[in-house]
Amino acid sequence: MSGIIGKKIGMTSVYDANGKYVPCTVIEAGPCVVTQIKTVETDGYTAVQLAFDDKKEKNTNKPLLGHFKKAGVTPKRKVAEFKEFTTEFQLGQSLSIADVLVEGDFVDVVGTSKGRGFQGVVKRHGFGGVGGQTHGQHNRQRHAGSVGACSFPARVFPGTRMAGRMGNNRVKVQNLTILKLIPEQNLVVISGSVPGAKNSYVLIEK
C-alpha cells in the first residue's frame, strides 16, 4: 500500500457539512524523502523506502549516515517502507501530502500505543474484582483469583489472562476519513483517534 510518514500533533474536533460534531486527530505528515527503491532483482520484492523528520548528523550512526548520503538526503529520524506505490520515484525525491492523500479518502493509521507499564487484571483485561469485602477477605478486591486447576492438570494453561505489561504495542486503526488537508503546513486532519502519544510517529497507509 502507498502512504506517508507523519507525527501526531494532537486531537481536536470539527463540524462536518451536515453539522455533525466529529472528533479528529491532527497529524503533521511529510515532507518525506525517498531513501531507497527496492526491486525484485535486488531485494526480492518491490517497495519504496521513505524517511521523515530531520536529525543531527552527530546523532546518526555511520551505517545510516552512509545510507542517507547514498540517497543524497540529510539524516532522518524515521524510516518506513510502502509496497504499493504506482508512480515511479527517484532517490532523494521529496513527497508531500498532496502527492499521496486526497480529502475524503479512507486511510489506515499505524502507531505505537501508549505504554501503561505493569498493570493488574482489572485494568488490563477488565476483570470486575470480587465485589464486596466479605467472609474475612482482606486486601484482595482487585486480585485475579484462582488461575490453576487441582491435581490434574496441575498447571496453569497458556494464555490465561493475568497481570502484566500493558500498552506499547503496534496498533493499526482502519478506515479513518481524511477530513481536511492543509498542504502549506503539511497537516492532515483525520477523523477519530490515532494510537500513540503526542509527537509520536505514525504511518498513514492508503
Residue ranges per structural domain of the chain: 1-30+97-124+161-206, 32-95
What integer best gives the mean pLDDT of the chain? Answer: 90
User: What topology does CATH give the domain 32-95?
Assistant: Double Stranded RNA Binding Domain (3.30.160)
Closest by Cα among 166, 184, 182 to 24 = 182
Q: What is the pLDDT of residues 163-196, one digit of tens each?
A: 999 999 999 999 999 999 999 999 999 999 999 9
Q: What is the pLDDT of residues 51-109, one digit of tens each?
A: 999 999 999 999 999 999 999 999 999 999 999 787 888 999 999 999 899 999 999 99
Q: Would you state the cell numbers that stand for residue 201, as one nine-digit string? A: 510517529
Residue 195, preceding bond cis, omega within 30 degrees?
A: no
Q: Determine the number of helices (DSSP H) and then strands (DSSP E) in the chain.
A: 4, 12
Distance CA 64, CA 80 (A): 13
CATH number of 1-30+97-124+161-206: 2.40.30.10
Rounded to two decimals, the pTM is: 0.85
Distance CA 54, CA 76 (A): 5
